[in-house]
Amino acid sequence: WLNDTVLTSTIVAGNGTAGSTATTLYYPYGIFVDAKFNLYVADTLNNRIQMFPVGQLTGITLAGASAPGTITLNQPSDITLDGNGYLFIADTSNSRIVGSGPYGFRCLFGCTEVYGSTPSQLYYPRTLRFDSYGNLFIVDQYNSRIQKFIIASNSCSLSYNQPTFCYNALWYSNASTFASSSTIGTLPYGIFIDGINTVYIPNRVSNTIVTWPQGSNTSATNTYSNLSNPYSLFMSMTGDIYIDNGYSYGRVDKYTFNTSNRVTVMIVNGSCYGLFIDISNNLYCSLKSLHQVVKLLLNNGTTIPTIAAGNGSAGSLSNMLNSPQGIYVDSNLNLYIADCANNRIQFVQTGQLNGVTIVGNGSSANIILNYPTGIVLDASGYLFIVDSYNHRIVASSYYGFRCIVGCSGGGSTASLLSFPQSMTFDSYGNMYVTDRNNSRVQQFTLQTNNCIFFCDYHLKNWQKSNDMLLELFDLILVFLV
């Protein structure tokens, strides 16, 4: 205890002998004490994280060896906690940083587990700490450097990734094929990536859901009873999966996290080409064949939805839709609809049934859409649109709309798409597109996302203008003299 007269210490963990029991440690390194005085120890050579409740000498394994269902560690050397109690671990000999979250553990940085010196790699990370903004600093020991990883997003209300992009963000034009028809079947529609970068794709041929954990090339096929032709899915903050099952059974099913327990949550009269859960726990379904979007407050005792947009007849008036598919709901509960056959994006303000055309036919936007099927917003409010029949992805920016991938027409090469259907992002800003008629999912890697270019451009122009004004002022003074 500091500030007293006692100079001797007391043991709080370990008995002085190397071991792997609950009362022993083996080369402990990093430590952390939480607000309740519980002690966390990176028990390095036991490949585990131990937690010692205040006043106890018997530890509890939270991660690593002998803690099944967590994560495999290789000589972890440091541990820290955030304000929510989530763990962040320097998994040193795996050359990566891992963290816990509402769905379990995930890799954050160095996720290939291959050491290196590029900006995305680490080589024996030893210590990690956060600043007050949430940026992460890592002692990258064998690279002889300190790495700073800037926080990209920190939403506790979203189950999916919503990166922050600059107006001039770029993606590499050549994509890699993330999944092909041998895994996901032909003509894929839906895709979802959760907060720990697990990828979910419905296989409408085998009536299954195919998943990939972050960084894995190996997929797992999940079978659900009485599932028929699923077009879309969505995961909630609690990890429950909502799957379109409207084609044959006229319903949306919920499967509780990590179980096969099914509950019908919504009765529908057709397939949901898009599913979405907003921050108020409303579930939305876009019914293409009925020209409507419907919604339902989850856990309110009913499975009958109400109308969110569209009057049930195909049309182009403000209260009508024509074959809607992709949907998105922002943090203000405003609804965005890919109104496919009207070649437009409709914006329906919360509490309203009449929409406003913000892109496409009837808008002032500087772009023409041809059967848009998907719509996503980033954290800056920029729109990303799957312009399906133009075989491209377009996005809004500071200066208007621009094409970002698939900008040379349809095709099957790495830079082209053929009637893309939907899109989403992982937490690193990489873009995944269901390339429907090529029966594949393409991954476009984020190339640059540096907003300072815009500031530098204007700063340089401002400096040039000031220099010109000063020169002009000097000339005037000379003339007057």
- Among 414, 403, 449, residue whose Cα is nearest residue 429: 449
Q: Is the Cβ–Cβ distance between 102 and 237 less than 8 Å?
A: yes
Supply 178's token pair: 């993330």
Query: Is the pLDDT reported for residue 230 higher than 90?
Result: yes
| Domain parsing of the chain, residue ranges | 28-150, 170-448
- Exposure pattern of 354-374 as b/e (b: 16+ CB <10 Å)? ebebbbbebbebebebebbbb
Which two tokens mark 219?
């997929």
Handedness of CA 278, 282, 286, 291 (dihedral sign): negative
Residue 173 has pLDDT above 60, yes or no: yes
| C-alpha dist (Å) from residue 337 to 222, 234, 328 | 29, 16, 7
User: What confidence tens digit (pLDDT) does each residue in 351-395 have?
Assistant: 999 999 999 999 998 899 999 999 999 999 999 999 999 999 999
Q: What's the rounded Cα separation, in Å, for the pair 63 and 56? A: 19
What mean pLDDT is predicted for residues 18-35?
96
Task: Give the range among 192-196, 231-235, 420-424 with minimum mean pLDDT.
Answer: 192-196
Q: What is the pLDDT of residues 438-459, one digit of tens each?
A: 999 999 999 999 886 444 444 4
What are the pLDDT digits (tens) for 282-306? 999 999 999 999 999 998 999 999 9
Give the C-alpha separation, 115 to 127, whole Å: 16
pLDDT of residue 44: 97
Q: Helix or strand or coil: residue 153? A: coil
pLDDT over 50 at 471, yes or no: no
Confidence at 156, pLDDT banded by 50, 70, 90: low
Count the neighbouring beta carbons within 10 Å of the beta carbon of residue 34: 13
Return all residues near 3 (Cβ < 8 A) that are at least 6 apart.
Answer: none
**3-class DSSP state for residue 52?**
strand
What average pLDDT does this structure show over 419-425?
Answer: 98
Higher pLDDT, 76 or 476: 76
The whole-number pLDDT of residue 152 equals: 62
Q: Where are the beta strands (DSSP E) in 66-219?
A: 78-81, 87-91, 96-101, 104-109, 125-130, 136-140, 145-149, 170-171, 176-180, 192-193, 199-203, 208-212
Concatenate the DSSP letters of all residues of 95-139 into one string: TEEEEEETTEEEEEESTT----SSTT--SSEEEEEE-TTS-EEEE
Q: What is the mean pLDDT of the chain?
A: 90
Q: Strand runs (DSSP E) across 236-351, as ranges?
A: 241-245, 251-255, 262-267, 272-277, 282-287, 292-297, 306-309, 324-329, 335-339, 344-348
State percent of the chain over pLDDT 70. Answer: 92
- CA dist 270 and 285 (Å) reads 10
- The yes-or-no answer to whether 28-150 and 170-448 have a common fold is yes
- Please write the tens of the pLDDT for every residue from 393-411: 999 988 899 999 999 999 9
- What single-letter amino acid sits at 348? V
Question: Can you say how many angstroms the Cα of residue 23 is from the centroid of all Cα atoms in its chain?
Answer: 40
Handedness of CA 213, 159, 290, 318 (dihedral sign): negative
pLDDT at position 381: 92
Q: What is the structure's pLDDT at 214?
A: 84
> pLDDT tens digits for 41-82?
999 999 999 999 999 999 999 999 888 778 899 999 999 999
Distance CA 401, CA 384 (A): 9
The CATH number of 170-448, from 3.20.20.70, 1.10.10.10, 2.120.10.30, 2.115.10.20, is 2.120.10.30
Distance CA 68, CA 79 (A): 19
pLDDT for residue 429 is more than 60: yes
pLDDT at 468: 43
28-150 fold: Neuraminidase (2.120.10)
pLDDT reading at 463 higher than 90: no
CB 232 within 8 A of CB 247: no
Q: What is the pLDDT of residue 470?
A: 42
323 near 331, Cβ under 8 Å?
A: no
